[in-house]
């Protein structure tokens, strides 16, 4: 390997070749390629962000629907003495467990021949983030559950 001025080396090669052949400097090509890769990584991160947002909205909507469908059950828990904090904790825990189940099923899919192309530390961060976001979405649904009066909840149709 020779070190020196890459621009001077490119000029020298052009002078020798001189037949219209394309001469490029590897360093410039690497910089161009790095810019393209960085742009693609940014687009990929944006798509991941949108995917996570859609998933969180979906979990929030599902949890909200679950709360509405179980309004009598929640009312009964309230009548039996469970306070708003207890109801909120149960709903958030349930949503968080759904997130854990999703992570576990995703990891089990690795045994089905799906190659792991993401390094483990970022994957672990995503797994923790998924569980946290599903629990947060559950908290949004739990807010609706604790607002309902126990008497109104018990009167609700099944």
pLDDT in tens, 111-133: 777 676 777 788 788 889 888 98
Domain boundaries, the chain: 7-147
Q: What is the mean pLDDT of residues 73-81?
A: 88
C-alpha distances (whole Å) from 147 to each of 46, 56, 69, 140 are 36, 22, 15, 12
Residue with tokens 């672990």: 124
Q: 0.85 cut: is pTM over it?
A: no
Q: What is the mean pLDDT of residues 49-69?
A: 82
Q: How many whole angstroms separate alpha carbon 75 and alpha carbon 71?
A: 6
N residues, the chain: 158
pLDDT band at 86 (very low <50, low <70, confident <90, very high): very high
Q: What is the mean pLDDT of residues 24-30?
A: 74
Q: Name, in order, each residue with C-beta under 8 angstroms of 157's C-beta and a sequence gap of 6 or more.
A: none
Q: Name, in order, each residue with C-beta under 8 angstroms of 110's C-beta and a sequence gap of 6 or more.
A: 116
């Amino acid at each position: 390997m020779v070190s020196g001025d890459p621009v001077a080396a490119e000029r020298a090669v052009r002078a020798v070749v001189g037949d219209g052949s394309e001469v490029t400097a590897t360093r410039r090509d690497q910089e161009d390629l790095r810019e393209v890769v960085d742009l693609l990584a940014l687009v990929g991160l944006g798509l991941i962000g949108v995917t996570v947002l859609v998933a969180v909205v979906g979990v929030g909507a599902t949890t909200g629907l679950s709360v509405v469908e179980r309004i009598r059950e929640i009312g009964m828990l309230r009548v039996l003495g469970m306070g708003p904090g207890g109801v909120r904790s149960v709903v958030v825990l349930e949503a968080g467990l759904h997130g854990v189940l999703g992570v576990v099923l995703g990891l089990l899919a690795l045994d089905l021949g799906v190659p792991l192309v993401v390094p483990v530390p970022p994957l672990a961060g995503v797994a923790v983030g998924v569980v946290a976001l599903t629990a947060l979405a559950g908290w949004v649904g739990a807010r609706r559950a604790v607002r309902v009066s126990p008497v109104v909840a018990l009167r609700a149709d099944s």
